[in-house]
Chain A
């Protein structure tokens, strides 16, 4: 099962906006609005940041937003802060027999 494609790293200055892409296929990212995003700090468990492409769970800053176009989903962090430095992973349902799930390759975000 091939992973979804993300850039290995993205960086920005504090206060800037950055965008992380997540590219899949018409069998996963492009099939349904079942893309979610997770933040993982070193040594910690992943934390849900966005679900169903663009919805934010309660308690997640509105600086985080999600979108999708075709087979590519995106996570945007506005007003980048030092605490946003972490690894980010997209996650998608994948159609097929059997159905499955797949993570992205992961993106390290750095605040310069």
Chain B
């Protein structure tokens, strides 16, 4: 069974940093693109970042480019999102999702909540 479990969320002050993790199981992480998506409270979904299987390509949304970095460790079946210079508007549930390679995601984790507030 495919499972994605996010962790690392919590309360952080504006300007701070946080590293999210996504533990994958039930499939071989190394053969899939992976995606991070977020959802602010009461708002819609927002694409955050994508990463290729070998980390040779990474893409970011305009609102996080230059502040967030996506990475992965296929041997550890883990995906990461390093978030720096956090802002109030980064407050959201962050989901990791498996990308099929055909520009859509088929499995999602349950998400981890990040709250940026002083």
Chain A: residues with CB nearer than 8 A to chain B?
A: 1, 3, 32, 34, 36, 38, 40, 45-48, 51-52, 57, 87, 89, 91-93, 98-106
List the count of A-B residue pairs having beta carbons below 8 Å apart: 64
- Bound complex: CA A82 to CA B113 (Å): 29
Q: Is the CB of B59 within 8 A of A100?
A: yes
- Bound complex: CA A100 to CA B95 (Å): 17
- Bound complex: CA A44 to CA B108 (Å): 10
Interface residue ranges of B10-52 to A (CB < 8 Å):
35, 37, 44-47, 50
Task: Please tell me which one of the listed residues B59, B61, B102 contacts residue A52 in the complex, with CB atoms under 8 A apart.
Answer: B102
Q: Is the CB of A103 within 8 A of B45?
A: yes
B4 to A, closest residue via Cβ: A45
Task: Please tell me which one of the listed residues A40, A51, A106 contacts residue B104 in the complex, with CB atoms under 8 A apart.
Answer: A51
Given contacts A1-B62, A99-B59, contact A46 B47 (CB under 8 A): no
Given contacts A1-B61, A38-B45, contact A93 B103 (CB under 8 A): yes
Q: Is the CB of B104 within 8 A of A52?
A: yes
Chain B: residues with CB nearer than 8 A to chain A?
A: 35, 37, 44-47, 50, 59-63, 95, 100, 102-106, 108-111
Complex contacts, A51 vs chain B, CB 8 Å: 100, 102, 104, 106
Cβ distance A3 to chain B, nearest Cβ, rounded Å: 7
Complex contacts, B37 vs chain A, CB 8 Å: 46, 103
B100 to A, closest residue via Cβ: A51
Q: Is the CB of A57 within 8 A of B106?
A: yes
Given contacts A38-B45, A89-B44, contact A98 B103 (CB under 8 A): no
Most chain B CB within a 10 A radius of its CB, from A38, A45, A87:
A45
Q: Is the CB of A48 within 8 A of B105?
A: yes
**13 pairs from A and B in contact (CB 8 Å cutoff):** A1-B62, A46-B37, A46-B95, A46-B108, A47-B108, A48-B105, A48-B106, A51-B100, A51-B102, A52-B104, A102-B47, A104-B44, A106-B45
